[in-house]
Structure 1
């Protein structure tokens, strides 16, 4: 076979391989695209990965981690040690032990400069501190506030069911103070 004939044959084979690869790529894309509705149908038929129940006659499952026989009053307090206004949005709320709750604190930087601050919690009575469980809190990290910036900062918490029965009220108090000196210029 001549060199020219061999080159022609190689080009033809390369073109065939390229065509096959394009067909395979298109089929793979189509298969991946088709998997989404197929997956949804399989999940619906088997009841796997269902986020909502379709049968309205099924009663919702009650959270057994909540002690509905007790009600605890949680009072919220804020102390500001620095150039801001700091306060809870609500003064208190009623919760059952084990029940998830959320409160929001507001802070406003009243200065013409950026400030960094940290919140430190305290509890009354002191024994309540080990039973007050925060899942999300602005106190977990420093907060940086630009000049005249206002922030809404959530605290997601629950009161542990092992809280002594004689404790009916818990006070959560935050002291919000500046860290790192005077901060950056505005």
Structure 2
């Protein structure tokens, strides 16, 4: 959606900026019982610190691209990323995101997935698909997948943070998203 159409639709413009060393506080702010309810709960402080370091390292290695979702003034609203993964025995780019409570309900994630898809198209390597695996109970993230044009392919149950988690398997065919 163009910037002009967003403004006409009454949506606040957002942009993505690369994850940086100063973004640890954003992960800490998102590590609450409320924010991690669909992820089997919060991480320890050390796990959050380690994940922050991993985001920085994987960006430098070129295997993952983690962004901070920011508003017009540059205030962080959340994060969105894509990284190399495997789904049904084929390489994919996997996407994940969160939006802080004060920015939820405003379409931030839906606009961020549009921007992320543009980035994936430029940095997808051999992957034909972009996949996302939100909890079956996470209505908001499943809605983001629908908005982004993903197709629901099924469900799977995996262990995550020490407990089973049932996930929807959403997939976007990147070949269909290339400009004509």
- Common topology (TM > 0.5): no
Which category of TM-score, normalised to the shorter sequence, fits these structures?
under 0.3
Q: Indicate the structure whose relative CO is greater, using CA pairs within 8 Å and at least 6 residues apart.
A: 1
> Whose Rg is larger?
1
TM-score norm. by structure 1 comes to 0.25
